[in-house]
């Protein structure tokens, strides 16, 4: 049952359908539940939020990525799917928060300079919030110096950096370097992630941790706490 509904969510992410009013890539799907309705239904049926995210949303976006690579999908198609994932995450956010929990710490998070991909960062943010952290999101395309200023002002325990492009991951290293030059590198634990990033890369730029996905990012923050 759980697999059936997460498969439907995955399919509707691929179709880029937010609600039942949307046509979908294959068209003619108006009236069938979209990602929003399916996520609500999955929650009502008691499907685990982690399964909705991993087997539905992330699995769907992964297929979208493959279709983009194969030139079956273009940028507007990707955006429709991204919108469906973002909308689903808004529905899921309150379910991730554990009631009555006190904040475990503050995390600044940003997608680095030159990079507009923010879906993964937003998922990581929501999961961290759901685990009891205060997350301050600096947005995307954030310059190293702006991150340095934010660390000085907010004094967070953690800094999360995301990059999705091989051409922008270099700015993660520059950000670590800028923090060193400002003399505040050791005041904050730095966690990095994003599709082109690896544990080895994280080590090479002097980050404290790496998360392959949102759940691993949370586990890494917990282990560094
Ligand atoms: Co772009 N894009 N994109 N894109 N895009 C990729 C990344 C690409 C792999 C597609 C491809 O060619 N196959 C490719 C990069 C190639 C490379 O660098 N090697 C690419 C390209 C080339 C581009 C443009 C240059 C295209 C163009 O204009 N010609 C352009 C660049 C714009 C820019 O940033 N300056 C561009 C634009 C876009 C859109 C705007 C259309 C859109 C982004 C919308 C948005 O984010 N608001 C977009 C999308 C959607 C994608 C794909 C299809 C999906 C990315 C995504 O959201 N994945 C992507 C192809 C793919 O991934 N297969 C692609 C789902 C998301 C949940 O996963 O972001 O990996 P991800 O996050 C995961 C983990 O990585 C991890 O946890 C997340 C949750 O599990 N994680 C962290 C992420 N951050 C973390 C931080 C952590 C820890 C874990 O700690 C802090």
Reported as a single tens digit per residue, the pLDDT across 80-128 is 887 898 888 889 878 876 434 345 789 999 999 999 999 999 888 877 8
Reported as a single tens digit per residue, the pLDDT across 54-90 is 899 888 988 988 898 899 998 788 878 878 988 888 8
Same domain, 118 and 87: no
What CATH number does residue 26 fall under?
Answer: 1.10.1240.10
| Degrees, nearest 5: CA angle 18-55-21 | 15
Do the domain assignments include residue 21? yes
Distance in angstroms (rounded) separating the CA atoms of residues 59 and 65: 10
Bridge partners, 111 (sequence order): 162
CA of 195 to the centre of ligand 1 (A): 7
List ligand 1's pocket residues with C-beta within 6 A: 58, 61, 64-65, 68-69, 75, 78-79, 82, 109, 114-121, 123-124, 160-162, 164-167, 191-196, 211, 213-214, 217
The number of distinct structural domains making up the chain is 2
pLDDT at 208 over 80: yes
- The minimum-distance atom of ligand 1 relative to the CA of 117 is 46
CA of 41 to the centre of ligand 1 (A): 28
Q: Higher-confidence residue: 135 or 138?
A: 138
Confidence at residue 100, expressed as pLDDT on a 0 to 100 scale: 40
Same domain, 189 and 143: yes
Same domain, 33 and 118: no
Distance in angstroms (rounded) separating the CA atoms of residues 172 and 153: 20
Distance in angstroms (rounded) separating the CA atoms of residues 69 and 193: 21
What CATH number does residue 120 fall under?
Answer: 3.40.50.280
Helix (H, G, I), strand (E, B) or coil at 210: strand
Reported as a single tens digit per residue, the pLDDT across 166-194 is 999 999 999 999 999 999 999 999 999 99
pLDDT at 160 over 70: yes
Bridge partners, 158 (sequence order): 107, 189
Which one of 73, 96, 119 terminates a domain?
96
CA of 162 to the centre of ligand 1 (A): 10
Distance in angstroms (rounded) separating the CA atoms of residues 154 and 173: 21
Distance in angstroms (rounded) separating the CA atoms of residues 159 and 102: 19
| Residue to probe by mutation, ligand 1, list 120, 170, 201, 216, most atoms within 8 Å of CB | 120
């Amino acid at each position: 049952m759980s697999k059936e509904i997460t498969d439907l969510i995955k399919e509707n992410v691929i179709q880029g359908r937010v609600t039942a009013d949307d046509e979908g890539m294959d068209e003619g799907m108006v009236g069938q539940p979209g990602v929003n309705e399916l996520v609500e239904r999955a929650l009502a049926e008691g499907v685990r939020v982690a399964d909705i995210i991993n087997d539905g949303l992330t699995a769907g976006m992964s297929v979208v990525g493959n279709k983009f690579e194969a030139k079956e999908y273009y940028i507007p198609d990707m955006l429709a799917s991204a919108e469906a994932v973002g909308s689903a995450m808004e529905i899921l956010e309150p379910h991730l928060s554990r009631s009555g929990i006190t904040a475990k710490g503050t995390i600044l998070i940003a997608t680095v300079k030159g990079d507009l991909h923010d879906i993964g960062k937003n998922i990581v943010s929501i999961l961290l919030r759901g685990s009891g952290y205060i997350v301050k999101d600096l947005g995307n395309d954030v310059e190293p110096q702006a991150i340095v200023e934010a660390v000085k002002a907010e004094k967070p325990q953690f800094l999360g950096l995301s990059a999705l492009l091989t051409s922008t991951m270099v700015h993660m290293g520059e950000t670590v370097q800028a923090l060193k030059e400002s003399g505040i590198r050791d005041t904050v634990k730095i966690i990095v992630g994003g599709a082109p990033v690896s544990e080895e890369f994280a080590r090479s730029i002097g980050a404290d941790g790496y998360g392959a996905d949102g759940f691993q990012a949370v586990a890494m923050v917990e282990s560094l706490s």
